[in-house]
């Protein structure tokens, strides 16, 4: 639902858009890239669309006004996605998994950050296409948001896509770790869905991210050899 709360600090979303002046990056690096430029430059950047890793502290829509805002943004997003055949193809059919989970308006009312989930499994290459399509349609979203907030000038939009829903948040890291360890125990853990190996994808210490089992399940479904 539009008012659900998610722990954004656990999201492994990869950034497929960034930079200022309306530029959408074509990169697909696993390392998240943050938006450049400060709030003071917001006027020049109005209209940019970003997919970024969520900040650690995130304002969830608890107040009635915020919940209404989220619901309106969610409706606008659904309309936008429903009207674009290529975006529908990127998301999978039907595109019913879109849900705005939180929104935040900056103190200067120039930056609106929207976090949303896509329940369907969308590979990073498709996510990049989706980012570019949303960027081209940003003026429609700006108009909708401006009407909602009754602002003289629409805020910049920052979209955050949560890959955790699709069980892919740590998929690349899991694969790296399995290749690095190349052990029967690691493969057995993937086949059974248990975490026999407790090493992190960074190759050092610690334990797997709590999403590891979810990602493992998704990877097993997408790579049948791990299910044998």
For residue 20, being part of any structural domain is answered with: yes
Pair 157, 184 in one domain: no
- Closest to 145 (Cα-Cα) out of 135, 132, 136, 156: 156
Pair 204, 158 in one domain: no
Helix or strand (DSSP H, E) at 39: none
Pair 15, 124 in one domain: yes
Confidence tier at 2 by pLDDT (50, 70, 90): very low
Pair 184, 157 in one domain: no
Pair 104, 122 in one domain: yes
Pair 190, 131 in one domain: no
Mean pLDDT in the chain? 46
Helix or strand (DSSP H, E) at 165: none
Q: What's the rounded mean pLDDT across residues 7-25? A: 29
E strand residue ranges, the chain = 98-105, 111-118, 156-162
List pLDDT tens digits, range 195-216. 333 333 433 333 333 334 444 5
pTM of the model: 0.34
Q: What percent of the chain has pLDDT over 90?
A: 0
d(CA 86, CA 198): 40
List pLDDT tens digits, range 110-166. 666 666 554 444 455 555 565 566 556 666 666 666 665 555 555 565 655 543 333
Q: What's the rounded mean pLDDT across residues 69-80? A: 61
pLDDT higher than 60, residue 108: yes
How many other CB atoms are there within 10 angstroms of residue 83's CB atom? 11
d(CA 20, CA 38): 10
Confidence tier at 73 by pLDDT (50, 70, 90): low
Q: How far is CA 15 from the centre of its chain?
A: 8
d(CA 143, CA 140): 5
Range from 9-18, 61-70, 187-196 that averages highest in pLDDT: 61-70
Pair 24, 43 in one domain: yes
192 three-state secondary structure? helix
d(CA 207, CA 199): 6
Cα Rg for the chain, rounded, in angstroms?
19
For residue 3, being part of any structural domain is answered with: no
How many domains is the chain partitioned into structurally?
A: 2
Q: Which domain holds residue 111?
A: 8-166
Pair 175, 203 in one domain: yes
Final residue of a domain: which of 143, 166, 189? 166
Pair 40, 122 in one domain: yes
Pair 146, 193 in one domain: no
Pair 111, 185 in one domain: no
Range from 44-48, 73-77, 173-177 that averages highest in pLDDT: 73-77
């Amino acid at each position: 639902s539009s008012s659900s709360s998610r722990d954004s600090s656990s999201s492994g979303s990869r950034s497929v858009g960034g930079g200022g002046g309306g530029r959408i990056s074509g990169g697909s690096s696993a390392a998240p890239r943050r938006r450049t430029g400060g709030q003071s430059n917001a006027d020049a950047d109005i209209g940019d669309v970003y997919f970024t890793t969520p900040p650690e502290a995130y304002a969830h829509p608890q107040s009635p006004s915020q919940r209404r805002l989220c619901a309106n943004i969610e409706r606008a997003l659904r309309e936008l996605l429903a009207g674009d055949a290529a975006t529908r193809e990127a998301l999978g059919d039907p595109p019913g998994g879109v849900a705005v989970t939180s929104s935040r308006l900056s103190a200067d009312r120039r930056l609106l950050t929207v976090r949303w989930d896509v329940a369907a499994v969308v590979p990073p290459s498709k996510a990049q296409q989706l980012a570019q399509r949303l960027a081209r349609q940003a003026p429609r979203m700006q108009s909708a948001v401006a009407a909602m907030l009754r602002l003289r000038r629409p805020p910049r939009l920052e979209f955050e896509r949560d890959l955790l829903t699709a069980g892919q948040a740590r998929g690349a890291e899991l694969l790296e770790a399995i290749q690095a360890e190349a052990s029967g125990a690691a493969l057995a853990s993937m086949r059974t869905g248990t975490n026999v190996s407790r090493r992190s994808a960074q190759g050092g210490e610690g334990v797997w991210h709590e999403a590891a089992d979810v990602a493992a399940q998704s990877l097993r479904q997408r790579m049948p050899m791990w299910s044998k």
